[in-house]
């Protein structure tokens, strides 16, 4: 039996990248997985992959910035899959703009999706997990939340906010039997990362390949990471093996950040 046999987990951003890998990993270890994503087609494809592997999943179109959407998706997930005790926030957006050119509307959108959306997920999932006897949650932050990012100040601020949110949630929810942690990925091989480097390359007057190579060269382990490597750490933080870990933000970045 897997570590999550008989449990129900919700994963946002489950249509691709880290969210998809997390959903596949949890399902492979026995969880019934609710897949939340603003892209119905992408989440459906993740559900199909889980079903083909013998697991169980349901997808729900969800705008994480809307409380009504989050509440509706979690209600439907519990009705379809059973009592919710595990949650992973893997949604997020990022754009690159030099600080002096960052549009206020982009700032608002990034903070709304990355930070407000994470708050809504953690709060509403925690209400259910606490009622169901406790559980565990993981928020995907970023090493960008650890320091300055002159071409994506909104993203860095949102991810720093996620770390702070996790600290507060962990303290507030400990007495309810709900653990809350974060992971801080570095350079992950996802479409979002490739899009970031296409934008950075245009800003810096180089090719996307050169931008990617420059970033990879800074990583002590000498390579970029896979979404599956992030998923493995998240699965550990959700599992009973991490029963004494809460309120932590774990860097999973090949040594890119050591603070």
Positions marked active-site: 155
Tokens of 127: 């209400």
List, in order, residues 6 or more apart from 142 with CB less than 8 Å away: 92, 155, 156, 159, 184, 185, 186
- d(C-alpha 101, C-alpha 113), whole Å: 20
- d(C-alpha 93, C-alpha 32), whole Å: 26
Neighbours of 83 (CB within 10 A): 15
- d(C-alpha 56, C-alpha 30), whole Å: 9
């Amino acid at each position: 039996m897997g570590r999550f046999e008989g449990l129900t987990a919700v994963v946002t951003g489950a249509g691709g990248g880290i969210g998809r890998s997390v959903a596949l990993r949890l399902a492979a270890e026995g969880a019934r997985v609710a897949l939340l994503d603003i892209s119905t087609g992408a989440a459906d494809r993740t559900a199909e992959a889980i079903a083909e592997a013998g697991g169980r999943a349901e997808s729900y179109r969800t705008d994480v910035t809307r409380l009504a959407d989050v509440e509706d998706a979690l209600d439907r997930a519990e009705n379809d899959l059973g009592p919710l005790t595990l949650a992973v926030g893997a949604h997020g957006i990022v754009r690159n703009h030099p600080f002096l050119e960052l549009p206020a509307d982009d700032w608002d959108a990034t903070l709304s999706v990355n930070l407000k959306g994470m708050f809504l997920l953690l709060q509403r999932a925690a209400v259910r997990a606490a009622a169901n006897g406790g559980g565990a949650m993981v928020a995907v932050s970023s090493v960008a939340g650890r320091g300055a990012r002159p071409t994506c100040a909104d993203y860095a601020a949102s991810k720093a906010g996620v770390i702070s949110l996790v600290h507060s949630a962990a303290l507030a929810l400990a007495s309810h039997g709900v653990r809350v942690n974060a992971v801080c990925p570095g350079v992950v091989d996802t479409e979002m990362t490739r899009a970031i480097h296409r934008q950075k390359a245009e800003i810096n007057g180089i090719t996307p390949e050169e931008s990617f190579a420059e970033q990879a060269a800074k990583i002590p382990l000498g390579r970029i990471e896979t979404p599956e490597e992030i998923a493995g750490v998240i699965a550990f933080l959700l599992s009973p093996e991490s029963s004494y870990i809460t309120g932590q933000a774990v860097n999973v970045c090949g040594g890119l950040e050591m603070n």
